[in-house]
Structure 1
């Protein structure tokens, strides 16, 4: 049986999140829509900290599709070789840079469908860009959000698509814009996989997790 927080509990949970951090921010360094898109694409199966280390010297010299193409695949590879799957990611970044120039005038589109036509860009990456740069209430579900959603009863679902729908359907509208960041940060630092830090959890009173620690 799927356990789902009721409306009053959801209101309380997200009010508490907002009280804890009113304007949650993503942790990938970027300077514009293009560098955000590249950073998110690079972050698949990698940590944000690892991506930030790799892009610290990359983005100052390649912050547009044109500059990325000028750097070239081999040049890009040298910057990101500390990131998992770096060769395939380098190919995709060069290809998406070319696609942006050829089809979108060098600009990152603000459409999920358009973003998902770019090499290496799936729904999750597209939703992050839509949420963080274009301020749309798009919900990018990763392993952290999937865990928090099911463990707490905030947005349960059998797969990432179901959890995304649960957020869209059940999180009150006033919290939709920041829901993705609140949930991912909660999963990254409090509701961790092996030993959740329930003793310091700000939403402990409403969470449906039966094996609370502390």
Structure 2
């Protein structure tokens, strides 16, 4: 006589979840913060959250698409952080505060920042999604500079905007790579950041 089998749980890792895409993004971000984007694979990500190795591909066609989503999310987080503690009643202080917050984001999220600005997403031709969020950032920077220096010609403002950005962005990259050296006593990063931004803002003086 055949024994009737009692239904039980299916073996294997679950795929259907309420918001698996967000779980994958959160896990990818945590992994990158911990180990860097270079070491992330779709298989390792699946293992991180306990799903089958095929499950991530239902939401991201490949590793690049996943990294792209994490990078774009990083830009939006950076834009949101830009206004923290900033005096937006004074145009110069508003610009100063947002530039300092950019440097703080770069310092506090070094591996995410590297994905956003130094990975294959920008090295091998700028991904359209990255182009879009970077353009948004540059438009905001230009608007802030217009408020600070309305009397400059458009051409002169563009030149000074590019120069200011090179100074601030270059500082972010070099400090993240521990490439800045100063005589003793060596100032801390925040002190250097404030000095750098203060000097950069002088570019807007007529």
Does the pair score TM above 0.5?
A: no
Larger relative CO (CA 8 A, sep 6+): 1 or 2?
1
Q: TM-score, normalised by structure 2?
A: 0.28
Which one has a larger percent helix, Structure 1 or Structure 2?
2
